[in-house]
Structure 1
């Protein structure tokens, strides 16, 4: 199963996702944006994302990711070993930074 980084961390630890799947499905590999979100949807997404960061910290602090299994696709695709939750969180920062850089480039281009 291919999931985004945050949900992948939960999946790899055998935990339920903190974010509604309807927000995850459009972010899976091979997908693309389908239209624009309105102000209400943007506010709902922002609230959900902030809540998921808080939940991630709480779950990390209570050691909920002890059963994390290594991520072979990241190792094969990017050459980065992700063997535990600390590796996964480091990779998450890299991954999100990559997307932020792409978005910043597109904003300058457009």
Structure 2
């Protein structure tokens, strides 16, 4: 699990750079040919991790239900994300790493609901969920690398 956590931390630090390199306007811009923007992708990977790991283990997690509605799979930006919301996402992006690792080490995750993801990955264990999360975050980082060329 340590290598999975190391990769996750690296991924999240790459996402963190977008807050430093792009303005609020750029984070919110949906380029022609795309259906989302930089900030939606960040919100989405935060929500997805919480759903995969916590909800998959019958736990609530640490983000407001409102965020699930805004960034869950199948959604797209419905308006401009405010600076306050961006700041909240920036905080969650990093703080949830240590919280999740602490919960893992404290054996908070007692069960896991085996399931198939919408993209066809079979998750039979919590370890599978963590591995898929890293894969999923890598995909969205790739999308963001494409979007950034047009903002």
Fold conserved (TM > 0.5)?
A: yes
Count of equivalent residues:
105
8 Å contact from structure 2 (residues 48, 133) kept in 1: no
- State the match for 1:89 in structure 2: 130
Task: State the 1:105 CA deviation.
Answer: 0.9
Task: State the 1:104 CA deviation.
Answer: 0.8
Task: State the 1:81 CA deviation.
Answer: 2.5
Higher relative contact order (CA 8 A, sep 6+): 2
Task: State the 1:70 CA deviation.
Answer: 0.9
Task: State the 1:48 CA deviation.
Answer: 2.4
Deviation by residue 1:22-78 (Cα, 9 ceiling, x = unmatched) = 112111222111222232221122112322222111111112223112122x1xx43
8 Å contact from structure 1 (residues 7, 18) kept in 2: no
Residue segments in structure 2 that go unaligned for 5+ positions in a row: 1-46
8 Å contact from structure 2 (residues 52, 133) kept in 1: no
- State the match for 2:94 in structure 1: 50
Q: Return the match for 1:80 from 93, 106, 121.
A: 121
8 Å contact from structure 1 (residues 6, 92) kept in 2: no
Matches within 5 A, 1:1-110: 4-72=48-116, 74=117, 77-110=118-151
Task: State the 1:6 CA deviation.
Answer: 2.2
Moved more, 30-39 or 54-63: 30-39
Q: TM-score, normalised by structure 2?
A: 0.62
Moved over 3 A (4+): none
1:55 is paired with a residue of what secondary structure?
helix
